[in-house]
Amino acid sequence: MGMLDFIYKRHSIRKFKDEAVPTEDIKELIKAATYAPSAKNIQNWHFVVINNKEKIEEIAKLVERKNALLASQTKDESVKNNFAKYVKYHTVFRNAPAMILIYASQYNPTGLDVFKDIGASSEEIHHLLRPSAGMQNIGAAMENLLLAAANMGYGGCWMTGPNYASKEIEEYIGFKKEGFFLAAMTPLGIPEDREWVSPKRKPVEEVLTIIE
């Protein structure tokens, strides 16, 4: 086995066995997630675990209802149809025994206060905010979580598609923490299948530039 095989074990899993995930395993996964790097070590994340299948199904229905509502208000038929057809991908968590919602808080990047104090233009401030360091923290935590899950025999699927229903999901969950909002989620469980084919990746040469 290669030293990096733990990375290649991770796949986007959307079908799960009907087997509960032990709480101790979930805690181990969350611990792994919290060892991700974060800007200024702010650790601007909070993890909400749902292992009640009825509640998971209700969240899926909330997404479906919000999708249908938004689609009904859209006048462009092409936009409407394209949006509506993806709802099945936005609810793949409904057959998982557990799901993890990652909440995030805002993060002000280094230099923002200075830019504001010197009267920097909105274009300059937008350029500073564009990398979204706070969301990079959440992405790092999610990747840690999914790599750890795959290494422990579990599967997940990094999801942000359902975020158009985040307000409804937040209200249903009832979790409140000052300054935090729902940023991403993943189902969690034992994969139903064990044979996967990863989507084709771009060649390294295409995405790599070395400057000497």
CATH of the domain at 122: 3.40.109.10
80, 74 in Cβ contact below 8 A? yes
Residue 212: inside a domain: no
pLDDT in tens, the chain (212 residues): 588 998 999 999 999 999 999 999 999 999 999 999 999 999 999 999 999 999 999 999 999 999 999 999 999 999 999 999 999 999 999 999 999 999 999 999 999 999 999 999 999 999 999 999 999 999 999 999 999 999 999 999 999 999 999 999 999 999 999 999 999 999 999 999 877 778 899 999 999 999 99
The pLDDT of residue 1 = 57
Domain around 81: 5-207
Residue 130: inside a domain: yes
Residue 196: inside a domain: yes
Q: Which residue is it, tokens 């300054």?
A: 179
Task: Give the strand pairing for 180-189 and 155-156.
Answer: antiparallel
The pLDDT of residue 114 = 96
Residue 145: inside a domain: yes
The pLDDT of residue 163 = 97
Provide the number of structural domains found in the chain.
Answer: 1
The pLDDT of residue 193 = 83
Distance CA 103, CA 44 (A): 8
